[in-house]
Chains A and B, each alone.
Chain A
């Protein structure tokens, strides 16, 4: 075990220990937000793999999360199996859909891939998740209700045991994040990044494009689906609204805004996506100097769009990339004052 890996494991454990404590002191609404933040963070993490590592654009990540959520909801509501089995089924369904979506991506890239994935997101949003023909999958207009679910015999459900669901989610997120950070420098990671830099060069160097692109799409969809599969547990039921087209677009916007190449940016983005809208709807109304005001959810999306445009013009590497660059710069200049030579990666 190299010291670098040991440091990463330690950092992940510390992050888990800190994050696990935070929601405990708050009310049930914020506990729900924390669990939702991890679910959205999984969606953003899936884009770190697909866009950040492999360079493929996708506008349908919320669709993968939705397929994971509906599959898990269907399994638990109709078969009453252990929730982790349902999560496994959701991840498998999302993986298969991801490989299917990856098939056109073998020939397409850039804007044409964006158009196709946008079309897929819209088909699932307006047709699959809402039409009578798919009621066996979506549970009709009411969706699947999940009451009294268990994980390995432990009682977890949305109302009383939200913290249990949150801890399981957070542990899984830390694990997947650690795996992704390690993937970056591994042989498979180098092949994936070679595809990002130049498909032609990667193929010339012997990278199997078909295999690695399909695998990237499948794994990315599975990560998004893993988060989504916990949605019925946390929210108590599934509905099309959280996984509609605009969530997919927000995923892309927030992932790019926070820094699509960096794993910790996904966690940052998840908190941003879940907590800010709730804080706005809770505290964003009142009177200021005699004028009543109300800051609704729409302000969040408005700000997100404006921030994304500004960020792409001014800070192309995202918020986390910019912070990272500044920290490295500051460390390098501090060491230079001390007269020591340091290697800056």
Chain B
């Protein structure tokens, strides 16, 4: 029973990361119609910027919390700028193209970002993780020790989901974003600044990707490919939410995290969780009407 509880905690932590990564994908897809295959790569690049500040440029006499804070801020600022640059330089010019063409463009971005990161930070080398909470801190919840870093991730995922949901629902800019996601043409006729909305979507999506990347570093072998490949789990979670719904996406992320973690009690395999992600994707696409996604892709 104790082992089961421990696996549940690990699964929920993993699920929180999937949720965070998927939230950014859903946000960008809803407002701009771009299914961003480069989402993992964007998060990876920003995470390496944070890593560079944390391990490369921070002064040894700084207290740990200051180095962490500066690293996270640097990573997030870089992510926002990268999202803005991608929107201005690339996706603004292909807005009317088919969704598949836009998806292939993001594959180009994935390849470029991935190789740029391995040129700068080297592919083969093991990189130390960034801890937001102290590594050894644990909290007892009903006799089960829970690592503080897990709690940070779960709280961040839930908080961001509700925060983004409230932002979209109750603020006037959020209403503009929802209007653009329903119909860019109609929204622009009503005076909604479509360019501004899609720029902000890319910045926000990139920010969330960076946050997911920074939070995940203690739990994976932190190199350039593993964060890029996080995309498939994030896409599975996003598909559970129908590429539209934020709460369902977060729920999907947690479910996927648990589904990928429990089998590791019996099956010692690094690759097996990928099979589960694929099966979840197939199951979702069979149960839900796939034509529904195409309609949302206007």
Chain A residues within CB distance 8 Å of chain B: 57, 59, 104, 107-112, 114-116, 118-120, 122-123, 126-128, 130-133, 245-246, 249-250, 252-253, 256, 296, 298-302, 304-309, 312-313, 316
- B232's partner among A118, A128, A300 (CB-CB below 8 A) is A118
A298–B224 alpha-carbon span in the complex (Å)? 12
B91-119 interface bits toward A, Cβ cutoff 8 Å, 1 = contact, 0 = none: 00110011111011101111111111011
**5 sampled A-B residue pairs with Cβ under 8 A:** A110-B103, A112-B285, A119-B235, A123-B271, A305-B113
B187-198 interface bits toward A, Cβ cutoff 8 Å, 1 = contact, 0 = none: 000000000000
Assuming A107-B285, A109-B294, A308-B111, what are 18 further A-B pairs, CB within 8 angstroms? Answer: A57-B104, A110-B297, A112-B239, A114-B103, A116-B285, A119-B232, A120-B278, A122-B229, A126-B271, A130-B271, A131-B269, A249-B107, A256-B104, A298-B115, A298-B119, A301-B115, A308-B107, A313-B90
Chain B residues within CB distance 8 Å of chain A: 35, 37, 90, 93-94, 97-101, 103-105, 107-116, 118-119, 123, 225, 229, 231-232, 235-236, 239, 269-272, 274-275, 277-278, 281-282, 285-286, 290, 293-294, 297
| Given the contacts A107-B290, A312-B94, A116 and B111 also touching, CB distance less than 8 Å | no
Q: Is the CB of B118 within 8 A of A122?
A: no
A116–B284 alpha-carbon span in the complex (Å)? 11
Q: Which residue of A lies closest to B98 (CB)?
A: A110
- A112's partner among B98, B105, B110, B293 (CB-CB below 8 A) is B293
* Chain B residues within an 8 Å CB radius of A115: 35, 232, 235, 239, 281
* Chain B residues within an 8 Å CB radius of A299: 115, 119
Shortest Cβ distance from residue B283 to the other chain A in the assembled complex, whole angstroms: 11
A309–B199 alpha-carbon span in the complex (Å)? 18
| Given the contacts A122-B278, A312-B105, A249 and B100 also touching, CB distance less than 8 Å | no
* Chain B residues within an 8 Å CB radius of A308: 104-105, 107-108, 111
Q: Is the CB of B104 within 8 A of A252?
A: yes
Q: Which residue of A lies closest to B289 (CB)?
A: A107
Q: Which residue of A lies closest to B38 (CB)?
A: A305
Q: Which residue of B lies closest to A110 (CB)?
A: B100
- A313's partner among B93, B109, B274, B275 (CB-CB below 8 A) is B93
Q: Which residue of B lies closest to A313 (CB)?
A: B93
A130–B275 alpha-carbon span in the complex (Å)? 13
Q: Is the CB of A302 within 8 A of B115?
A: yes
- A131's partner among B113, B271, B297 (CB-CB below 8 A) is B271
Mostly, the B contact residues are helix
- A306's partner among B100, B112, B236, B278 (CB-CB below 8 A) is B112
A109–B290 alpha-carbon span in the complex (Å)? 9
* Chain B residues within an 8 Å CB radius of A307: 108
Q: Which residue of A lies closest to B224 (CB)?
A: A298
Q: Is the CB of B105 within 8 A of A111?
A: no
Shortest Cβ distance from residue B256 to the other chain A in the assembled complex, whole angstroms: 12
A128–B272 alpha-carbon span in the complex (Å)? 9
A110–B297 alpha-carbon span in the complex (Å)? 10
A154–B235 alpha-carbon span in the complex (Å)? 49
A110–B278 alpha-carbon span in the complex (Å)? 17
Q: Is the CB of A301 within 8 A of B114?
A: yes
| Given the contacts A131-B272, A313-B93, A111 and B278 also touching, CB distance less than 8 Å | no
- B108's partner among A110, A245, A309 (CB-CB below 8 A) is A309
- In the A-B complex, list the 3 residue pairs whose CB atoms are closest, starting with the nearest: A305-B112, A127-B271, A308-B108
Shortest Cβ distance from residue A60 to the other chain B in the assembled complex, whole angstroms: 11
Q: Which residue of B lies closest to A120 (CB)?
A: B278
* Chain A residues within an 8 Å CB radius of B107: 59, 249, 252-253, 305, 308
Q: Is the CB of B105 within 8 A of A127?
A: no
Q: Is the CB of B115 within 8 A of A305?
A: yes
* Chain A residues within an 8 Å CB radius of B269: 127, 131-133
Q: Which residue of B lies closest to A108 (CB)?
A: B290
* Chain A residues within an 8 Å CB radius of B113: 305
* Chain B residues within an 8 Å CB radius of A250: 111
Shortest Cβ distance from residue A64 to the other chain B in the assembled complex, whole angstroms: 16
* Chain B residues within an 8 Å CB radius of A104: 282, 285
Q: Is the CB of A123 within 8 A of B278?
A: yes
A120–B110 alpha-carbon span in the complex (Å)? 18
| Given the contacts A110-B297, A309-B90, A312-B94, A116 and B282 also touching, CB distance less than 8 Å | yes
Q: Is the CB of B99 within 8 A of A110?
A: yes
Q: Is the CB of B285 within 8 A of A306?
A: no
Shortest Cβ distance from residue B165 to the other chain A in the assembled complex, whole angstroms: 24
